[in-house]
């Protein structure tokens, strides 16, 4: 394929050191084919994306990956490897997940075009790391992986066969981001969410600390038992219920200061009663 000249030159979507806009990182979970790694790198570099994160891949950056990437091999060479998704997303203030299948988790679903416009608008407001997560080739993202996201991106396709190759999916999203950056589009009113600036919101790592603490406290109660008798069933209940709680928290998108307030509430609830504290009788006034 010859080099395209249809798109004008444009500053990269990813910020380099000292650049005013924060980066967008593409996060791949459990990638199993090295050729897909190369195809993703090529799609990213075509559209000005440079930050690639690989979560527990079973494919390595080998000769096949590098040959497929061609002149985008530098994206692979600079890719970061992470053992799990929470670690990969720790510094993120906005997490988008891609899926082609309906899921039981009640996350807001955006079309790829509307999502790209929102992501670029947030990026241009200089508001922190934005992550876009893709699942493994065969299975896509699991419900557990999706629970770490705030919003879901769907790429419209033939309902009889909506499954895209990983490289194709990344290429479509990267193209939409590029066009949104070029046009500096304003979000349609029906797609706009009334959220506080991303920079003021808690990072995933801060949320993880709160959730770990809450889960530890709930472990000391029958909350996760739910009639189960086997430890494996209780552990499954724990993962399922904490996943649902995580979705509630992500959808609410509270500020860092509000999360600190919630941490303070946990501290107060687990502390010895203060001698000056008095129970409130009846309804609060």
Rounded mean pLDDT of 174-199?
Answer: 65
Residue 129 in tokens: 């790391």
Residue 152 in tokens: 């879901």
Rounded mean pLDDT of 149-174?
Answer: 90
For residue 175, how many other CB atoms are within 10 A of its CB?
Answer: 16
Rounded mean pLDDT of 153-168?
Answer: 87
Give 83 or 20, the one with higher predicted confidence.
83
**At residue 15, does pLDDT exceed 80?**
no
Under 8 Å between Cβ of 26 and 65: no
- CA 12, distance to chain mean position in Å, is 21
Q: Which candidate, 185, 214, 51, 61, places its Cα nearest to that of 115?
A: 185
Name the pTM for this structure: 0.72
Alpha-helical regions (H) of 95-224:
112-124, 143-146, 166-183, 204-219
Helix axis angle for 256-269 and 204-219, nearest 10°, is 20
Q: Which of 10-19, 23-32, 89-98, 213-222 has the lowest mean pLDDT?
A: 10-19
Please give the pLDDT value at position 2: 44
Q: What share of the chain is helix, strand, coil (3-state, %, to 5)?
A: 45, 15, 45
Specify the fold of 24-191: Alpha/beta knot (3.40.1280)
Q: Above pLDDT 90, what percent of the chain? A: 39
How far is 126 from 132, CA to CA, in rounded Å? 17
Give per-residue pLDDT as tens, 206-237: 878 888 888 888 888 888 888 888 888 888 88
| Domain range annotation of the chain | 24-191, 202-269
Residue 266 φ/ψ, nearest 5 degrees? -65, -40
Q: Which candidate, 144, 212, 132, places its Cα nearest to that of 170?
A: 132
Residue with tokens 């500053």: 11
How far is 136 from 2, CA to CA, in rounded Å? 30
How far is 131 from 27, CA to CA, in rounded Å? 7
Q: Which candidate, 134, 174, 144, places its Cα nearest to that of 242?
A: 144
Q: How confident is the model at residue 277 (pLDDT cuts 50, 70, 90)?
A: low
Rounded mean pLDDT of 51-59?
Answer: 96
Rounded mean pLDDT of 64-89?
Answer: 96
Under 8 Å between Cβ of 29 and 145: yes
């Amino acid at each position: 394929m010859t080099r395209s000249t249809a798109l004008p030159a444009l500053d990269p979507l990813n910020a380099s050191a000292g650049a005013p806009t924060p980066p967008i990182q593409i996060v791949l979970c459990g990638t199993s084919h090295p050729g897909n790694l190369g195809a993703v790198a090529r799609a990213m570099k075509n559209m000005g994306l440079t930050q690639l994160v690989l979560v527990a891949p079973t494919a390595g950056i080998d000769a096949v990956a590098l040959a497929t990437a061609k002149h985008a091999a530098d994206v692979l060479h600079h890719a970061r490897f992470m053992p799990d998704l929470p670690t990969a997303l720790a510094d993120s203030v906005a997490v988008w997940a891609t899926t082609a299948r309906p899921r039981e988790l009640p996350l807001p679903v955006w079309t790829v075009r509307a999502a790209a416009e929102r992501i670029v608008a947030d990026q241009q407001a200089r508001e922190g790391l934005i992550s876009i997560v893709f699942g493994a080739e065969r299975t896509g993202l699991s419900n557990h992986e999706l629970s770490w996201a705030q919003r879901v991106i769907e790429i419209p396709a033939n309902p009889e066969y909506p499954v895209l190759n990983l490289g194709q999916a990344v290429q479509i999203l990267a193209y939409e981001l590029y066009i949104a950056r070029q046009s500096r589009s304003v979000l349609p009113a029906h797609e706009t969410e009334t959220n506080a600036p991303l920079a003021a919101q808690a990072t995933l790592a801060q949320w993880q600390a709160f959730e770990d603490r809450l889960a530890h406290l709930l472990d000391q109660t029958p909350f996760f038992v739910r009639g189960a008798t086997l430890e494996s069933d209780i552990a499954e209940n724990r993962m399922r219920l904490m996943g649902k709680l995580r979705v509630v928290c992500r959808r609410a998108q509270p500020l860092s200061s509000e999360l600190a307030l919630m941490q303070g509430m946990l501290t107060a609830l687990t502390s010895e009663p203060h001698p000056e504290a008095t129970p409130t009788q009846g309804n609060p006034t």
